[in-house]
Structure formats: structure tokens, C-alpha cells
Structure 1
Amino acid sequence: MTISTVLKHNYAIISEAEWNQNPDFSRYSEYGLILLRDAKDAIIGAVWEGRPGEMIPVGIASLQMLEEDAEWDRYSVWIFTDPYRNILGWIERESLYRFLCHFYKTKKEFYETVLFSLPHRVTVIDGNSLICFVNEQEIQARGMAKNQIIGKRIHEIDKESSLERLLSDREKKTVIRLTDNKRGIYTQTNILKDGTSIGAIQVCWEAEEIEKIVMNLEAYTSLAQDLKAVFDLSYDVIYVSDGEGMTLRVSSASERLWGYKPEELVGKTVYELEKQGVFKPSITRLVLEKKDKVQTIQTTKTGKRLMVVGIPIKDEKGNIIRVINTSRDITQESRLQAELEAAKSIMQGYKQELEQLKQSAWKNDRLIFKSEQMRNLVTLAGKVAEVDSTVLILGESGVGKEVIASFIHQKSQRKENPFIKVNCGAIPENLLESELFGYEKGAFTGASKDGKRGLFEVANEGTLFLDEIGEIPLRLQVKLLRVLQEKELVRLGGTKPVRVNVRIIAATNRDLKEEVQKRAFREDLYYRLNVVPIQIPPLRERREDILPLALHFIDKFNREYNRNKMFSPEALEKLQAYKWPGNVRELQNIIERVVVIAEQQIIEPRHLPETLFHAQNNSNGISVSTIMPLDQAKELVERQLLAMAKERYGTTTRIAEVLGVNQSTVSRKITRLGIR
């Protein structure tokens, strides 16, 4: 029976203030003990089912105190803790007394068994010179029954004995003398307690036994020399502990790997050394907990990484009596492995980025614009590129959100590192998590046996562009938020956090505020992303950019398809008049189509898709679809142009500049036409 078998675990820990508010033990009927703690979380007392109406003091004891003369009657209830001060359980004083009675009785029987097992004659006397113990060898040597010896004074059994002389000594004393027949020796030692001799013990060694011991001693000495040579010359650390985790022997390599000499470690427990950070984790502790061989990586206070194998040595009853560890320094191997993994990650990032560049190389061309809106937007993007703030790019589909994201990356300090793009709406939901965050080997059926890095890790030290961010499901939004807040992630199927240093640029054509109200998008994630919002206006609101973009695309596709096409003025007018609901992407696709299909060198309006004409005929543009007086048509055109310009540019000075007239003319016409 051990103390752990009698400890009770039905306790609760609450604050003293909580108990004082409602001191009713019946609220905790399932518990036998309520521990009360103060504001600093220290246990200050308890309420016990044996005395539920009052707070009583409790004793706190470690397992080591069982070996000491503690004042067990001081408290009605005792709490026992492990070496880390964690509570193991509680016990009433009466139950503790019963355990201690059994505990000390067991120890007494153990020590008597030890003395009985010695191959020598053993006699023990108490402080009154009365014989209180003799073993079988002594009984046989005396030729008497045990009851004829126990309880008698030593001089009644051995008139020449000098054992009782040691009882008067107040210091430890050992006497060695020859037996009367000169064929053996007596070893006599007093038993001290608090400076007083409370007894003495005598061991008789026969000459034949002494000779055997001398021979064994020589053999052990030779073996010890061999083992010392192994310990001193071993490149690895050899570490020997007992079954309680006490360090018994350490090889000299400990100074090289751990920064501690063997004598600085011997005599200390592995729990103490682990707590001090000498090594982590303690392999001996793991072996004692698992009761089996353990092999794992250990880190040291000096920054080393060791591969350690711990092997338990057990007695015939299966109890661990020794733990032997061997530690091999793998710091250099780990560093090389980390560098290899980093190189693989960079290579994977560059490979993916290169593939994306091949598929959409035009998106990294220089920015093409003429409008004031885009000039201001690019200026803002340039400023944002100088810092690592998260950017949220907003705009309709096809306006060039990815182009702006790439521009920010190329202008940033991360431009030499990967720029990884992922369309969150194009990847199935069940694959998106593993693509973004990666997975460990065996995380799911069909997973790679080596695991896989996610795009966050691939983009490490670079930029990750999350297009269509509004498509990410809610359950993944939580993991994305953690990456933004903590700069770390956990792979699918893994438990170990992975640190990442990634700049996030997100984009969406959705109204995320509306999505937050619909509870389709997390509000906290929205504010994390919306640090620097950039709104890209649609192409219809920046018509000055249509012609520069059209000329840029026709030049690009002429070079790509080895053509020499050009637009007629009438075709350019049609492009300029169209509202482009598909924005820049639609403009690019239409120009690519006419460059490939048109047979003539000059692209006329008839080569353009009919959708451009249909949309214009049904729009509210400046074109006139019915017959009217010329003056009326002129006024209608002026009204529409001035209203559109007033809404877009605001000031009459800017409107006059765009329309190519004097500022006074603009002011006069706006007043006359009643435009507000």
C-alpha cells in the first residue's frame, strides 16, 4: 500500500471570498473537502465534511516528508503534493495515522528482512543494552533459540562483548576488532538520533567470507576501472539515475554538451535539473513515467539538440532500479536539416510563383493609367508598400485587384521573397484548409507520407495574396485570424505551432460589412484585414484609362501573336463609350479576341463584339437615338456631360480642364442648366 492508494481526490478549490459569500457546504455535496485560496492563489485553509461549519487549517506535505519525523498531529487534514507542488490528494489525520502505522511496520519488516538476508552474524541492542534483534546466522552460531536471546542483556549472552560501550558516545563511532578465535572480525557501530546513542549494531565477518569479499572487491575494482574508461572516453553522454530520478553517474562528455561537469550533476534529481533548464525534456522522467524505453530529441541550456535513448533497468519484480541514457549531439544535423527545409520551402515558393507568372505574365507589367483616381490610388499603394500593414483591396471583378497587390509586393522590402496568390473561391472547401495551412503526414486518407507545407509557409518572409477572401468558410476564418494575430499556425493533423512571417494582402468584390451583418463573415477578422483599405474604381468611372489600356493590350497581343493590328478612330470611340461591366479583364479579353480574329490590319467597329453596340444603344450615354431639334440635342449633351463631370470631379476648374473649355464657361452653363 502506498500513500497514493489512500489519498482522496474529491476536493474542490475556490476563493475565500466566494466561500464567504455563501458558506454552505451542501452546495458541494459531491466533494469531501473544499480548499480555500487567497487572492494570490495560495491555499489558506479548508472546509471539511467532518466539520462543515468552519474553516480549518490544513497541512501541506510532500512525499519525502513520509521519511521524516513530521508533526502529523498538528492538522486534522493533510494535502500531499508532487515535486512540482501539484496536489495529489487529501487525507484525514486518522486515516493518515493508519497509513503511517502500516508504512512504518512495512519499513520495519523490510529492514529486518535486509538484516536477516545478510550472510553475516548480526546483533542489535537498544539503548538499555537489551538485544532487540539477531539474524539466523547469529542464532546458529550461538546454538540457542531466538527467544533465549531476544530481550536479554548483551553480557548475559556474550560476557566479553564491548558493544554496550558505544551507547555512551554522542558521536558516530565504529569499532573493528578480531573475534576471540582470531578467525574473523567484529564491526560495531552505534545508532545515533539527535546526538544520543539509542542502540548499537554488531556484524561478525568470518575469515572465509572476508577472503571472498577481497576477491570480489578486486574483480569489482577492475570492472570499475573499465567502466570509468568507457565513461571518460565516450563521445556521447552516458547518464545513470536510480529509480527515483536521482543522478548517480554522468560521463565527462556532459561538460561539452550541457556545460556542466559530472560532479555538478551527481546527487541532483532529474526533476530539479529539468526545472533549472539544464535539459528539456528529462528523458529519465519520461522513462520512469512510461516504464519503458524512450527515444526522443532533447534540448539543452547551451542550445544543443541531442538524440537521447533512455533504457530502464528493472529488478525481478519489474520495479525500475536504474535508468541509463545515452545522448548524441545532433545540433549540426538539425541545423542542416532546417536549412534544407528552408531551401525546399523557398524553391517551392519560387516554383509556384514562376508558374503563376507564366500563366498571367501581363499582370506584372507596369501599371497603365491616366485618371486622377488611379494616380491617387497608386500613390497610396506605394506608401502602404513601405510597411507591413495588412491591406484589403476592394472592387468589382476584373478591376485589377491582383495587379495592385503585385505592385505593393514589388515596391516592398519583401520583393526578393515569394509573392503567392491564391483564389479562395476557386479551391473546394474541403481542400482549402490543407492548401493554406498544410498538413502533417497521415493527417487524412490520401495525404502525402511526408506531409505538406501550406501556402502560408511557402510564402514565409514574402507576401500572400488572398483573392476572394469573402469566400473563406467561417470555420477557416478562425484559423486565419490566429495567423494574423499570433503569426503562427498549426498544420492539419498536427499539434506543434509553426511560426510564419507573412505579409497578408486580401481582396474581395463583396461588401464585407454586409457579410458581417449577415453573420457570413467574422467581424474580428474583418477589422484585422481592413487595416488599410484600397478601393479600386470600376473602369466606367475612370474612362480616361480606357484608351491607354486598349493601346497597351493591342501592343501586347501584337507582340505575343506576331500581328500588326491597330484601331481605327471609330473603333476607339466605341471602346471609349462602352461601360465595361467586366472592367479591365473584359477589355483585355475583347482586344485579344479581335487581334486574333480580325483579318484586316485596321480594326473597325464592325470587328468589335455586338454586345458593345447593344449596350450603348440601351444606355443613358450622350448618344441620341431619336430625331430632335439640333439646339435641343446640343443642350441635352451639355447637360449630361456637365452633370457627369460635376459628379466625378467636383470643382469647375477641374471640369473645365477635362472638357477643354474656360472655367467661366463651365460656371455659366452649370448655373443656366440648374445642375447641382
Structure 2
Amino acid sequence: MTELFSENNRSGLTRDLIQALFPMFEEASAGAIAVDRESRITWINSSYAHLLGLGNPETVIGKPIRQVIPQTRMPEVVETGKPLLLDIMEHNKQQLVVTRLPFYDDDGQIMGAVAFVLYDDLQPLTPLVAKYRRLHQDLAAARKALAKKTRGTRYNLADFVGASPAALEVKRRARLAAGRDMPILIRGETGTGKEVLAQAIHAMSGRAHQPFVGVNLAAVPENLLEAEFFGVAPGAYTGADKRTRQGKFQLANGGSLFLDEVGDMPLALQAKLLRALQEGEVEPLGSNSVTAVDVRVIAATSRNLEAMIAEGSFRSDLYYRLNVMEITIPPLRDRLPDLGVLCEDILENNGQGPEVRREITDAGVAALGSYDWPGNVRELRNVLERALTMGEDGGQLDANAIFRVLPRGGSRPDPLLVLRPVKSLAKTLANAEAQAIEEALVASRGNRTRAARMLGISRSVFYEKLARMS
């Protein structure tokens, strides 16, 4: 590691501090790693290599760190120059406590970053982690309350829970979308988390400090949609306000406009929306003047827009305008490996107070996996909340608790997910014993004396067991 802190590079308080603390951190940590300004690995110690299951640490030198540690936030530290202290990272089903620090050259330019795994076993830290989670929940609640007043976002990418390949691909595309100021079309069934993802994209984008305005087109009466979108001029119609009423485009100016269930938009409004997107200006209802707007549109739908275009109920030109980048959220039934982490997140934030601590057993998760989930994550939340309400205080949510509240008629016939019937212990042992005797007879070519010897029992006991099998 000394080459990262050579005499030529040794200046600045941050770099001097890292150099002074580095030996102490490395000795106390479960592993350490460093990257350059392109987030490529420049150094890794043997402890971290062992933790990652690497045979030879030299094989990863020069590789982008996310190829080796997909969940790392080192590129974020390199990009922002801000340290990440005591962050919890998951890797290969392990939870690691990691501290990451940037370091700079003589001109104050970021040279790279260094990370230390402080703990690779969170068990001793359970009280501390529990307190951290409670504080995090309080902070999230405060942010949501503030967001309601300031038209900000309530969710970030961490709120889109999942670690399956399908969920990770959605998150990857969301990060990609956040870095590009273009229209996004999010597709997915109801309850999959389309609005959560839309807010997360806004929160990661360059417009994060500007308004995020959402409108559900399926929930607004058709005769009010134009006024809802473009605003109303004073006295535009009988009963109209004497002041200008701003529409969603004006409210979202500089930020993001989220069009939920865009497939439910009437054809007449589609043409006006297309013009607003193309020209970057809107004309309030009853006004003869136009207002320039700068919005990034994120649309979402659970409908088949291509089929709607074919039948003439959705404009193809608007579709191509909205679908510059597409993100498809898979239904819950296609990412069942995420059930465990989703349940953990929902139960952790069930709102029943810090004194209520509920867990779900592996059998309970397996029971959830036997269902088809037409309502997706929203339905899963409902099922767990009902199970919590009906369950005993202080108990665990096992398979029985889940089956009591799971809707009937939506079971999956997959034998790997449905709980198998339990055999009696005597029958299980008898079957295992019979199989062992048959295998010994095959291995000994029918020689019973040799078969008994292989099984470690006397010949008389062997004959007795053989007689009971016939």
C-alpha cells in the first residue's frame, strides 16, 4: 500500500490522516482494498482476498472493483470525494461493516479511495445495528414528511428491495437512467414498485433538488386532465379561480414529472402532451400565451402499449417520445428469491412500534413462495400486515400463520416451493435402513457376510433386518 502514499503524493490533511491511520485500520480490520480514480483495484490485502474467496489477490489487480464486489460503493466515494463511514454492505450472503475514504493528489484532485472491512460478523453488533436501524427509520419518516410539503421524493433506490439477478438488473438500469436526462418508461404489473423506482431515479439524478411531481392518470376524471396538466388561466370558465392555477408541468418545472398509468390517458390529451414534450412549453386552459417548461418525464404503465397502438387507443408518436429508455420491473412471482429480504424489510418497517419485533421463519417464507402474487409486493405487504395482526404477541410468523391469511386459489404447483408432507420418524428411519442394506448387498455382490461387515453390524442382526424387509 505504500506506493499509494509515496513522497510525491504525500500532501494535504486528508492524505496525511489516512497515511497515519492506515496501519492501525489495516491491523484492526478484517480486510482492506484500494482503487484508483477509475475505480480499478490497485491493491488488496490477503485478509480481504480470503474474505472474498480469491485464490490469488494479484488476479484482480487492475479490474474494475464492481466486477469483483458488485455491491461496493467505492465508485461513489471516488466520484463525490465524500467518505462513507460504517456502511453495511452485503456480499455473498455476508453482511460487512465497511469504512471507505477518498484520497487526493497535490492539486486536490481525487486519486482514488481505500476501504476497510471493520467487521465481517454482525452478531456482536446486533444492539448497535438495531439502534442504527431505528434511527434510520426515524430519519426516513422525517424525510417523507418533509417531502410531502416540498414536492420532493420519499423513496430512494434502497427502498426498491431485492438482491436477485432480476432485481439487480432493474437497479442497474435505474442508475443508468438517473445519469441520463431523457424520458423513461417504467413497465410492470400493479404493485411491483413503479413509483418507488421513479422517485429513486429522480433522487439520483441531477434534478434531485428540484420538484418531483406525480399524477395518476387513472385517478383523475377525463374532463379535468387538461387543467391538471397545463393549468388554468384566470376566469377561463364559469367558477374558475380569478388567479392563475398552475398545472403539473409548471409545478414540476426544473424537475421530474411522473405520469403513472400513462396508458389510461385519453387520445385527445395525448396529442397535447406530445406537443408539450416536443416544444418544451405549455398553454394553460383559457390562455392565449405559452409558458416555457423544463421537465424530465418518467412514465409508468401496467398496460400493453404496443397492443393499444395496434388498436388505435394510444399514439405511436407519443409512445416513441416516452420510451427513450425502458425499464421493466419483473413480477414478484418471477423473483421469488427476493421474498426473504422483502419480508425482512416489510416486518422491520411495519409501524407497530420498536417494542414489536416480529420475524418470519424459513417455512413461512416457503409458504409465501407457494402463492402466485397477482398483487405483487403491495399484496405481500398486505398479507404480512394481516399475519401480524392475527398472530400472537412475540411469536414468529411460521407457515401456519401465513396460510391463515394467504388468499386461496392462487397456489403454485411447484413442488420445490410447496411444503412436503412430513413422514413419521419410524418410517423415515426404516426407509433409510432398507436403502442402506440394499446398497450393501449390491456393493458386496450379494455376499451377506461381507454386506453385514460393510454396515458395521453382526451377521445375525443383518439377517434379522433382512427378514423384516421381506
**Counterpart check, 1:608 vs 2:413:** no
Change in 2 beyond 3 A, CA 1:356/1:606: farther
- The answer on whether the counterparts of 1:363 and 1:402 sit within 8 Å (CA) in structure 2 is no
Identify unmatched segments of 5+ residues in structure 2: 1-143, 423-427, 429-470
Task: Map 1:5-404 onto structure 2 (within 5 A).
Answer: 353-354=147-148, 361=154, 366-404=159-197
* Aligned equivalent of 1:423, options 207, 212, 216: 216
- The answer on whether the counterparts of 2:157 and 2:201 sit within 8 Å (CA) in structure 1 is no
- The answer on whether the counterparts of 2:367 and 2:403 sit within 8 Å (CA) in structure 1 is no
1:211-245 superposed Cα distances (whole Å, 9 cap, x missing partner):
xxxxxxxxxxxxxxxxxxxxxxxxxxxxxxxxxxx
Q: How much has 1:617 moved relative to structure 2? A: 5.0
SS at match of 2:245: coil
**2:263 corresponds to:** 470
**Partner letter of residue 487 of structure 1?**
G
SS at match of 1:393: strand
Asked which structure has the greater CA Rg, the reply is 1
Q: How much has 1:400 moved relative to structure 2? A: 0.7
**1:495 corresponds to:** 288
Q: How much has 1:615 moved relative to structure 2? A: 3.9
**1:585 corresponds to:** 378
Coordinate RMSD, CA, aligned: 2.9
**1:458 corresponds to:** 251
**Partner letter of residue 285 of structure 2?**
L
1:64-121 superposed Cα distances (whole Å, 9 cap, x missing partner):
xxxxxxxxxxxxxxxxxxxxxxxxxxxxxxxxxxxxxxxxxxxxxxxxxxxxxxxxxx
Question: 1: CA distance between counterparts of 2:317 and 2:369?
Answer: 42
SS at match of 1:465: strand
**Partner letter of residue 245 of structure 2?**
K
The structure showing larger relative contact order (alpha-carbon pairs under 8 Å, at least 6 residues apart) is 2
**Partner letter of residue 230 of structure 2?**
F
Question: 2: CA distance between counterparts of 1:604 and 1:414?
Answer: 44
* Aligned equivalent of 1:437, options 219, 222, 230: 230
Change in 2 beyond 3 A, CA 1:578/1:618: closer
SS at match of 2:215: strand
Question: 2: CA distance between counterparts of 1:511 and 1:617?
Answer: 26
**Partner letter of residue 282 of structure 2?**
L
Q: How much has 1:353 moved relative to structure 2? A: 4.7
Change in 2 beyond 3 A, CA 1:520/1:621: farther
Question: 2: CA distance between counterparts of 1:399 and 1:502?
Answer: 25
Question: 1: CA distance between counterparts of 2:382 and 2:393?
Answer: 19
Change in 2 beyond 3 A, CA 1:603/1:351: closer
Q: How much has 1:585 moved relative to structure 2? A: 0.8
**2:299 corresponds to:** 506
SS at match of 2:298: strand
Question: 2: CA distance between counterparts of 1:362 and 1:596?
Answer: 26
**Partner letter of residue 168 of structure 2?**
R
1:444-478 superposed Cα distances (whole Å, 9 cap, x missing partner):
22211102000110000000110000111011111
**2:357 corresponds to:** 564
Q: How much has 1:621 moved relative to structure 2? A: 4.6
Identify unmatched segments of 5+ residues in structure 1: 1-349, 631-676
**2:367 corresponds to:** 574
SS at match of 1:614: coil
**1:219 corresponds to:** none
Task: Map 1:641-656 onto structure 2 (within 5 A).
Answer: none
More strand by share: 1
**Partner letter of residue 534 of structure 1?**
I
- The answer on whether the counterparts of 1:617 and 1:625 sit within 8 Å (CA) in structure 2 is no
**Partner letter of residue 195 of structure 2?**
E
TM-score of the aligned structures, taking structure 1 as reference length: 0.39
Change in 2 beyond 3 A, CA 1:617/1:459: closer
Question: 1: CA distance between counterparts of 2:413 and 2:257?
Answer: 40
Q: How much has 1:570 moved relative to structure 2? A: 2.0
Percent of counterpart pairs with the same letter? Answer: 38
Question: 2: CA distance between counterparts of 1:554 and 1:357?
Answer: 28
- The answer on whether the counterparts of 1:353 and 1:419 sit within 8 Å (CA) in structure 2 is no
**Partner letter of residue 311 of structure 2?**
K
Question: 1: CA distance between counterparts of 2:334 and 2:195?
Answer: 19
TM-score of the aligned structures, taking structure 2 as reference length: 0.55
- The answer on whether the counterparts of 2:333 and 2:372 sit within 8 Å (CA) in structure 1 is yes
Question: 2: CA distance between counterparts of 1:520 and 1:482?
Answer: 18
1:41-64 superposed Cα distances (whole Å, 9 cap, x missing partner):
xxxxxxxxxxxxxxxxxxxxxxxx
- The answer on whether the counterparts of 2:151 and 2:211 sit within 8 Å (CA) in structure 1 is no
1:283-315 superposed Cα distances (whole Å, 9 cap, x missing partner):
xxxxxxxxxxxxxxxxxxxxxxxxxxxxxxxxx
Question: 2: CA distance between counterparts of 1:393 and 1:432?
Answer: 21
Change in 2 beyond 3 A, CA 1:554/1:410: same
Change in 2 beyond 3 A, CA 1:399/1:615: same
- The answer on whether the counterparts of 1:594 and 1:607 sit within 8 Å (CA) in structure 2 is yes
Q: How much has 1:403 moved relative to structure 2? A: 1.2
1:341-388 superposed Cα distances (whole Å, 9 cap, x missing partner):
xxxxxxxxx999515989x95677533111111212211111111121
Q: Count matched residues.
A: 279
**Partner letter of residue 294 of structure 2?**
N
- The answer on whether the counterparts of 1:547 and 1:576 sit within 8 Å (CA) in structure 2 is no
Change in 2 beyond 3 A, CA 1:600/1:568: farther
Change in 2 beyond 3 A, CA 1:504/1:562: farther
* Aligned equivalent of 1:412, options 202, 205, 209: 205
SS at match of 1:567: coil
SS at match of 1:533: strand
Question: 2: CA distance between counterparts of 1:605 and 1:381?
Answer: 35
Q: Judge which range, 568-577 or 376-385, deviates more.
A: 568-577
**1:651 corresponds to:** none
Q: How much has 1:597 moved relative to structure 2? A: 3.4
Question: 1: CA distance between counterparts of 2:151 and 2:282?
Answer: 27
**Counterpart check, 1:553 vs 2:346:** yes
**2:240 corresponds to:** 447
Question: 2: CA distance between counterparts of 1:620 and 1:351?
Answer: 43
Q: How much has 1:600 moved relative to structure 2? A: 3.1
- The answer on whether the counterparts of 1:563 and 1:595 sit within 8 Å (CA) in structure 2 is no
